[in-house]
Amino acid sequence: MSRGGGGLRTRVKTARGRTAQSTRWLERQLNDPYVKRAKAEGYRSRAAYKLLELDERFALLKGATRVVDLGIAPGGWSQVVRRKLPKAAVVGIDLLPVDPIDGVTILQMDFMDDAAPDRLLAALGGAPDLVLSDMAANTVGHPQTDALRTMALVETAHAFAADVLAPGGTFVAKVFAGGADSALVAEMKRNFATVKHAKPPASRKASSEWYVVAQGFKGRAG
């Protein structure tokens, strides 16, 4: 039986050993138009469309020459950056291994490691004009812990961006539950000309994921 509007819908039979939750995930994945598009267009993740849509709205990629991709795995965002900006230097970091992407330096390490900023900058050969973070902490199922860990990632990514971005640069980060907290937004507003929240259409409605987009870096304080 097909469910939903037009088109054929794939139903997944509940198999022994598969939980109802993972059956739902698999079914959603098999019927997701962005997953199909990603496969057809050669992107490693449906997340690629979130960056493409954010770029359509905010022209994030325009003129960027050095780009940092925090939480790069499996690589969809960096693929977008390379396709749009074939001459840009790109470096990505992730806890997970990532298959090589032509023209992208990939570091497999924890961004929270004290050595990460220097390693990223060394790979880039100069100050980035775009810092992207799609990092999400692995959830442990305890909402307060999950929220705190994600906030720590966003705050550290922002501190890194504010330390290394070239003047005029852009910082984009995934945030949860409606947005970055107010203290962080206030700090971002001191550092950037504009700070906006956006939920691109490719971001699932059921997910509390949003993006904060900060443009026009004012330069390092002090």
Core vs surface per residue 12-35: b (16+ CB within 10 A) or e: beeeeeeeeeeeeeebeeebeebb
Residue 71 in the binding site for ligand SAM (CB under 6 A) = yes
Q: Is 77 annotated as a binding residue?
A: yes
- CB contact burial 118-144 (16+ within 10 A = b; e otherwise): ebbbebbeebbbbbbbbbbbeeeeeee
Q: Which of 174, 189, 199, 218 is catalytic?
A: 174
Subset of residues 5 to 44 that bind ligand SAM, contact rule: CB under 6 A: 44
Determine if 151 is a binding residue for ligand SAM (CB under 6 A).
Answer: no
| CB of residue 214 to ligand SAM, shortest distance in Å | 18
Strands 89-94 and 192-198 turn out to be unpaired
Grouping H, G, I as helix, E, B as strand and the rest as coil, residue 24 is helix
Name the strands in the sheet holding 170-176, side by side, starting at the edge strand that comes first in the sequence.
Answer: 104-108, 89-94, 66-70, 130-133, 170-176, 209-217, 192-198
Is residue 177 a contact point for ligand SAM (CB under 6 A)?
no
Residue with tokens 């002090």: 222
> Cβ of residue 41: shortest distance to ligand SAM, in angstroms?
13
C-beta closer to ligand SAM: residue 119 or 218 = 119
Distance (Å, whole) CA 63 – CA 211 = 21
Interface residues for ligand SAM in 76-135 (CB under 6 A)?
A: 76-77, 93-96, 110-112, 134-135
Q: How many residues bind ligand SAM (CB under 6 A)?
A: 22
Q: Least distance to ligand SAM from the beta carbon of 145, Å?
A: 14
To the nearest whole angstrom, how small is the minimum distance from the Cβ of residue 16 to ligand SAM?
30
Report the DSSP beta bridge partners of residue 195: 214
Residue nearer to ligand SAM on the CB measure, 111 or 171: 111
Nearer to ligand SAM (CB atom), residue 5 or residue 42: 42
* Rounded alpha-carbon distances, angstroms, from residue 121 to 66, 90, 160: 10, 10, 10
Active site residue 50: no
Q: Which of 101, 104, 106, 137 contacts ligand SAM by CB under 6 A?
A: 137
- The single residue listed with the structure tokens 């325009």 is 62
Binding site for ligand SAM (CB under 6 A): 44-45, 47-48, 71, 73-77, 93-96, 110-112, 134-137, 153
Known catalytic residues are: 174
